[in-house]
Amino acid sequence: MSWVEHAVLWHVYPLGFTGAPIRDAAEPAPAHRLPRLTAWLDYAVELGVSGLSLGPVFASQSHGYDSTDQFRVDPRLGTEQDLDDLLAACRQRGLRVVLDGVFNHVGDRHPYYLEALRDGPGSRYADFFRIDFDAPGGPRAADFEGHGSLVALNHASPAVAEYVTSVLGHWLERGVDGWRLDAAYAVDPAFWRSVLPPVRECHPDAWFVGEVIHGDYAGFVEASGVDSVTQYELWKAVWSSLVEHNFFELDWTLTRHDELLERFLPHTFVGNHDVTRIASRVGAPAAVLALVVLMTTGGVPAVYYGDEQGFTGVKEDRLGGDDSVRPAFPDDPSQLSGLGEWLHRSHQQLIGLRRRHPWLVRARTERLELSNTRYVYRASAGGEHLTVVLDVTAGASAVVRGPAGDVLFRSDG
């Protein structure tokens, strides 16, 4: 059985976590911030997770998704040795590591792109990008969703396929266990289908999860050859059902989720670096109910750093609008406020429940009772089952019971 089937990940955005500057990325020398994350690995183990899912760690212009060198650690985070030390510390604790790879686009200051602009259509990197050299006003490159600073790669180019394969293999050789493929939905699935097999030949246990927001999840997995995609449908249904007091939405989505589980293991979450914090969406008491759903349904779950402490933050559509959901953590766990301790305990209990019942990774859900404000379902797989009760009729409460009716978890808000 693959390590992924036992995985519960702690999702960390390193630039924010370590307090690195975001919009003033230039630093004269490496700032050794990654060791700050190493200081939190025991905290991660005590939380109960089995791996880290790290946001961008490679040299970039600002937020990490505008890379300038994917073979080099971002100087704002440190050096390659700092990352090697982090990977070694994770291995010592039995923690897997998944890196964030941005292969749909690069920053507009990437040296390959600058050389292509300088040397024109005859440049060795001209084919790396989709550049209209005859555009009025000068060369114009295709970009990512209208962001001019994010220059789209030319995925029809064999050189780009070779480049992506090289980056994936390089860091797997250095000790990482998998990749989140950013904006995978924007790339022709045939590209992934071409680059992943040679990587898998050398690293058969590597896990590849594509960022896909909506559409035919299972079709994308099958066409691209990735192992999983981000389950945004379930994320939306969880918080929306709690906010709107409409468990019918969650029930309908879990029916679709079960269909996906017949074909692959979705990557599930109730928070990440791109969305408003779950505690800001639904309030801390109801955030526990969201976590109950996450930990009692099939898939590969991740907890976004800070959610386990009840951190709040609202994503806004403006420059710097992600900052509040990507905050710095203290130097070490002793400096955390005690206000989130109760929610941290709930996370420990529910992650522990998940890991004591590893069959939940493939669990299907069966509706037992449903109203707008009360939902009871059975999670089952391989002859095992748990019963989950969610209630927002008055406040927010949740109960998870074992086969004999014994209470395994209770939250009364």
Measured distance CA(386)–CA(25) in Å, rounded: 48
Fold assignment, 3-362: TIM Barrel (3.20.20)
DSSP state of 366: E
Residues β-bridged to residue 386: 379
Give the type of residue at 351. Answer: I
Residues for the chain: how many in total?
413
Residue 157 near residue 202 (C-beta atoms within 8 A): no
Measured distance CA(132)–CA(33) in Å, rounded: 40
**Cα angle for residues 274, 277, 280 (degrees, 5° grid):** 140
Residue showing tokens 């680059």:
195
pLDDT of residue 23: 81
pLDDT of residue 26: 64
The answer for 69, left when phi > 0, alpha when psi is -120 to 50, beta otherwise, is: beta
pLDDT of residue 196: 98
| Dihedral in degrees, nearest 10, Cα atoms 159, 164, 167, 169 | -100
pLDDT of residue 1: 46
Running along the chain, 413 residues long, what does each successive block of 10 average in pLDDT?
Answer: 91 97 74 96 98 98 96 96 98 98 98 97 96 94 95 98 98 98 98 98 98 98 98 98 98 98 98 98 98 98 98 94 96 95 98 98 98 98 97 97 97 83
Helix/strand/coil for 246 = coil
What does pTM read for this prediction? 0.97
pLDDT of residue 278: 98
Q: Which stretches does DSSP call E strand in 23-116?
A: 51-54, 58-60, 67-73, 96-102, 105-107
Tabulate helix, strand, coil % of the chain (nearest 5). Answer: 40, 25, 35
Residue 13 near residue 326 (C-beta atoms within 8 A): yes
Locate 229 and state its tokens. Answer: 């995609």
Measured distance CA(308)–CA(340) in Å, rounded: 7
Nearest Cα neighbor of 273 from 236, 303, 238 is 303
